[in-house]
Structure 1
Amino acid sequence: MEPLPCPRCGTEMRERSLGLATVHQCPEGHGVFLDRADLGTLVEAETDWHAGSATQTAPLPRITPDMTAPPAATKRSRAWVETIFD
């Protein structure tokens, strides 16, 4: 397939595979472009990601004198789509 130009600046867009979807991204930051079917695939992946993100609590550990502080918690993305772009 021939590379697609960005509709805004004409720069050749980068093609990325995200699971089953193919996304074309402007290297100049003008947007992300994809086929309608690929949009549906990303929406389904987003829905699945949220379905598995229910709040779960872990049992509290027994406190002992030799314990060290746990590692800092990593910030969880608000949405799966947020995790796929730099």
Structure 2
Amino acid sequence: METLSCPRCGAEMVSRGLGDGEVSQCPDGHGVFLSRADLGALTESELDWHRHAGQHTAPLPRITADMAQAPVSSRPPARAWVETLFD
């Protein structure tokens, strides 16, 4: 994919591989650009993620005498696979 400029700020968009495709992202967070084929691949990955989301549950923490309460995760679980892509 050729180098793209952000239509909002004019900055050169940063390209990176994403699964089987490539995404270009504005370094200032103004958006992303995907080809039609890459968007299709992301959509399929999202559907697969939801199809198998129930099987990826975290194991229960081991309870020990010194515990006051169960450990709390610092981040809430992702609602969708796409949320895991852009931290």
Instruction: Give the TM-score normalised by structure 2.
Output: 0.76
Query: Residues of 2 paired with 1:45 and 1:7: CA distance?
Result: 27
User: Hey, which of these two has a bigger chunk of helix by percent?
Assistant: 2
- Identity %, equivalent residues: 54
What amino acid is the match of 1:11? A
Mapping for residues 22-41 of structure 1, pairs under 5 Å: 22-41=22-41
Mapping for residues 30-69 of structure 1, pairs under 5 Å: 30-54=30-54, 66=65, 68=67
Bigger Rg, which one: 1
Gap runs ≥5 in structure 2 = none
* Counterparts in 2 of 1:2 and 1:39: CA distance versus 1, 3 Å: closer
Query: Residues of 2 paired with 1:47 and 1:67: CA distance?
Result: 41
**CA-CA distance at 1:71 after TM superposition:** 3.1
Instruction: Give the TM-score normalised by structure 1.
Output: 0.77
Count of matched residue pairs: 82
Gap runs ≥5 in structure 1 = none
